[in-house]
A = this chain, B = another copy of it.
Amino acid sequence: MIVVLRPDATESDLEQVIEKIQELGLTPHVSRGVTRTIVGCIGDEDRLREVPMLSFPAVETILPVEKPYKLAAREFAAGDTVVKLREAAGGVGDGAIHVIAGPCSVESREMILDTAESVKQAGAVALRGGAFKPRTSPYSFRGLGPQALEYLAEARARTGLPVVTEVLDTRQVEVVAQTADVLQIGARNMQNFALLSEAGEAGKPVLLKRGLSATLEEFLLAAEYILSRGNRNVILCERGIRTFERALRFSLDIGAVPFLKKETHLPVVIDPSHAAGRRDLVIPIALAGVAAGADGLLVETHPDPDRARSDGDQSLTLGTFASLMEQVKQIAAALGRSLATAAA
Contacts and interface: CB of A to CB of B under 8 A. Distances in A.
Interface of A: 2, 4, 7-8, 29, 31-36, 38, 40, 42-46, 49-56, 63, 65-66, 68-69, 75, 134-142, 168-172, 188-189, 191-195, 197, 212-213, 215-218, 221, 224-225, 228, 240-248, 251-259, 262, 275-276, 278-281, 284-285, 287-293, 305-313, 315, 327, 330-331, 333-335
A213 B242 CA distance: 7
22 contacts: A2-B63, A4-B65, A31-B31, A36-B65, A49-B137, A52-B313, A55-B306, A138-B193, A169-B195, A170-B171, A188-B192, A217-B247, A244-B244, A248-B256, A251-B253, A252-B255, A254-B285, A255-B285, A258-B281, A287-B291, A291-B331, A327-B335
Given A31-B40, A42-B31, A291-B287, A262 B280 contact: yes
Chain multiplicity (copies) = 4
Contacts of A330: 334-335
A140 B224 CA distance: 12
Contacts of A29: 31
Contacts of A262: 280-281
B50 A43 contact: no
Nearest to A229: B138
A285 B292 contact: yes
Contacts of A8: 75
A141 B334 CA distance: 40
Contacts of A280: 258, 262
